[in-house]
Amino acid sequence: MSGPSLEAVEFKRGPGGRPTREEAARRHAVLLETAARLFIDRGLDVVSIDEIARQAGVAKRFIYGRYRDKSELFVAAIEHYFAGRLEALHAFVPSRRDVESGLVDFGRKLLELALQPDALALQRLFISAAPRFPDLTANFIARNRRRSIGEIERVLRFYAARGEIELATAQFTAEQFFVAVVSIPQRLALLGQREPPQVEARRLRAAVRHFLDGCRTRPTA
């Protein structure tokens, strides 16, 4: 996992001696990147706030000024990590080829992000820890579910605008695309299993075709 670099320097100070807003934001990003890396490498229960603070180069009061405890920091670190993956998804430009080819390209990008080792490791951690923090988990889902599905909707709307598919219920259709394309490969990968690349590629193409069977525009009588 790569993230903002943290030099061994003091906070950049603004008027009144307080850290500048930019510096505080940079240190916060480094904190979340460091916490995520430590959680991946060593697990939630083993890593302490003291160790996170030391490796991130921030004071514990910097952490506790933002998070009540380690569980809040844990959820924030996961959210920060997946926000970066969403930025990569947002940068995806739908292909102007036919809808099937374009959705295969998009599905390939979804799988690339979903099956990254760090993404899988954090998802395993989150799944195992979620029952211990039901309120944090519910808030995380409420904040982030719409973001990821929204990127899928964006791509589907591109092809709907060209008249190639129908989007009567955009959110539901986007969720079905995710389920069709990502769910089985991701579940296998979470269990430490990956299909051979050629099998994953065939599965992706078949999933897109089956998806399009349900929403492709039909000629009117």
Q: Is residue 139 located within the same domain as residue 194? A: yes
CATH number at residue 51: 1.10.10.60
Question: Can you give the pLDDT at residue 17?
Answer: 54
**Is residue 221 a part of any domain in this protein?**
no
Share of the chain above pLDDT 70, in %: 90
**130 pLDDT exceeds 60?**
yes
- Asked if 182 and 208 touch (Cβ cutoff 8 Å), the reply is no
Q: 66, 87, 112: which is the final residue of a domain?
A: 66
- Mark whether 118 and 194 lie in a shared domain: yes
Which residue has 């299909």 as its token pair? 195
What are the residues facing 19 on neighbouring strands?
13
Mean pLDDT, rounded, for 48-56: 96
Identify the CA nearest to 27 among candidates 66, 1, 72, 82: 66
Domain that holds residue 24: 1-66
Closest by CA to 176, choosing from 189, 165, 192, 188, is 165
Mean pLDDT on 63-71: 94
Q: Is 157 part of a structural domain of the chain?
A: yes
Residues 169, 98: one domain?
yes
Same domain, 23 and 55: yes
Q: Is the pLDDT of residue 146 over 70?
A: yes
Residue 209: is its pLDDT beyond 90? yes
- Residue 205 inside a domain? The answer is yes
Better-predicted residue by pLDDT, 139 or 73: 73
Residues 103, 197: one domain?
yes
Specify the pLDDT at position 84: 86
* DSSP secondary structure letter of residue 132: G
Based on the fold, state whether residues 76 and 21 are members of the same structural domain: no
Q: How many CA atoms lie within 13 A of 10 on its CB side?
A: 6
- Examine the domain organization and report whether 106 and 62 are in the same domain: no
Asked if residue 190 and residue 93 are part of one domain, the reply reads: yes
User: What is the rounded distance in angstroms from the CA atom of residue 155 to the CA atom of residue 151?
Assistant: 7
Confidence of residue 187 (pLDDT cuts 50, 70, 90): very high
Residues 62, 90, single domain; the answer is: no
What's the domain count of the chain? 2
The string of DSSP codes covering 19-51 is BPHHHHHHHHHHHHHHHHHHHHHH-TTT--HHH
Asked if pLDDT for residue 166 goes beyond 70, the answer is: yes
pTM of the model: 0.83
CB 148 within 8 A of CB 86: yes
What pLDDT, on the 0 to 100 scale, is given for residue 216? 85
Residue 217 pLDDT > 80, yes or no?
Answer: no
Q: 47 with 141, same domain?
A: no
Task: Please check whether residue 78 lies inside any domain of the structure.
Answer: yes
